[in-house]
Amino acid sequence: MSSPVLKADEIDVAMDFDSLAAAGSMLGSAGIIVIDDEASLIGVLEKIASFYARESCGQCTPCRLGTSWMAKTVERLAAGEGRPAELDGLARIASNIKGRTLCPLGDAAAMPIQALLSKFRPELEAEIGRAAKGRG
């Protein structure tokens, strides 16, 4: 996933570059991932963050460090070891990657995470709370 996620009420949009850009996302290579309401959103964040941490070639610092920090943060949240406030740190890291890297991988790592954080914050906080209770 390398584009900003769209919520259910945002997906009634034509599958073309301009329409998806107007909806706040991107057509990219036209692949679609559908996430249902049973899915763990922390799990989705974890998959995205760990994928880009692995794929970063390490040439530029915001991507090399940022993707690794995002992956470690989300891994901790998924393990029930984090706090909801850490989502702010995650958002800061993503915004420090976006637009500051040598190739588009940095933006691709940051954009879906930024969109999930801004559109599903209450759901993410609730899930972090449940994960933390599960450990307690």
| Other CB atoms within 10 A of residue 23 CB | 15
- Residue 57 sits in the site that holds ligand SF4 (CB under 6 A): yes
CA distance 129 to 136: 11
Which of 8, 22, 102, 126 forms a contact with ligand SF4 (CB under 6 A)? 102
Q: Among the candidate windows 34-42, 82-90, 103-111, 123-131, which touches ligand SF4 by CB under 6 A?
A: 103-111
Which of 47, 64, 76, 119 forms a contact with ligand SF4 (CB under 6 A)? 64
Which of 92, 103, 118, 130 forms a contact with ligand SF4 (CB under 6 A)? 103
Phi, psi of 43 (to 5 degrees): -65, -40
- Residue 63 sits in the site that holds ligand SF4 (CB under 6 A): yes
Site for ligand SF4, rule CB under 6 A: 56-60, 63-64, 101-103, 105-106
